[in-house]
């Protein structure tokens, strides 16, 4: 695996490239670090997988102000240009699925095929902001005392992700990423997605309904 720093529009991005073959761009969910995709990438060695810590996540630079989703898409386009990659397949998970849609809509010639997993066209928020604020608003001792309840709750998922090093522990990151989604939708533009698209969803997903 090769990890490198790219400077794009005065922001340093942490980018990871692995394997050989057809390029596949992996876009992470809310707060997701590069290593979240490691198990999947182990199964995709016939592909050249590219992923990154989006701005404010992991080892990528935090922007001064929250960025809207279209600007995130523009940064992705510039990142691929710097890497010398003209066209990719794109896999977007949750928050990254929204970014994948925006990227495909803004740069249709750059996307060959699209995979959207556990995501939304925008009108239904992927995660309730109140749940994120509630999680970070609690004191550590209060969180430990609180009964876990459903293991699929957003609080439980955040806790497990952070403990396992899959999610960032920086609350500011979540505020920035949630702000990127405010008012965003692809619903009225979905007809413009001409790429072959695979949609993956689960009937027991407590965050994104089937």
Options 60, 94, 120, 186, the catalytic residue: 94
94 is an active site residue = yes
CB neighbour list of residue 153: distance below 8 Å, 6 or more residues apart: 131, 206
Helix ranges, the chain (H): 38-42, 69-83, 95-106, 129-137, 140-145, 154-163, 171-181
Pairwise CA distance, residues 100 & 82, whole Å: 19
Residues, the chain, total? 210
Instruction: Answer for the pair 150, 124: CB distance below 8 angstroms, yes or no.
Output: no
Provide the annotated active-site residues. 94
């Amino acid at each position: 695996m090769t990890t490198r720093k790219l400077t794009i529009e005065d922001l340093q991005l942490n980018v990871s490239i692995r394997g050989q073959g057809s390029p596949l761009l992996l876009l992470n969910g809310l707060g997701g670090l590069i290593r979240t995709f490691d198990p999947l990438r182990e199964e995709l060695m016939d592909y050249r997988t590219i992923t990154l810590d989006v701005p404010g996540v992991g080892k990528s630079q935090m922007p001064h102000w929250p960025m809207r989703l279209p600007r995130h898409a523009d940064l992705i386009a510039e990142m691929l240009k710097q890497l010398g990659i003209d066209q990719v397949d794109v896999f977007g998970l949750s928050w990254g699925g929204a970014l994948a849609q925006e990227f495909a809509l803004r740069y249709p010639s750059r996307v060959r095929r699209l995979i959207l997993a556990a995501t939304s066209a925008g009108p239904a928020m992927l995660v309730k902001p109140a749940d994120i604020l509630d999680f970070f608003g609690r004191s550590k001792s209060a969180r430990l005392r609180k009964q876990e309840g459903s293991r699929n709750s957003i609080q439980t998922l955040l806790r497990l992700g952070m403990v396992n090093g899959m999610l960032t522990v920086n609350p500011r990151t979540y505020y920035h990423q949630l702000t990127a989604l405010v008012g965003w939708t692809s619903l009225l533009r979905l007809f413009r997605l001409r790429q072959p698209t695979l949609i993956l969803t689960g009937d027991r997903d407590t965050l994104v309904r089937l």
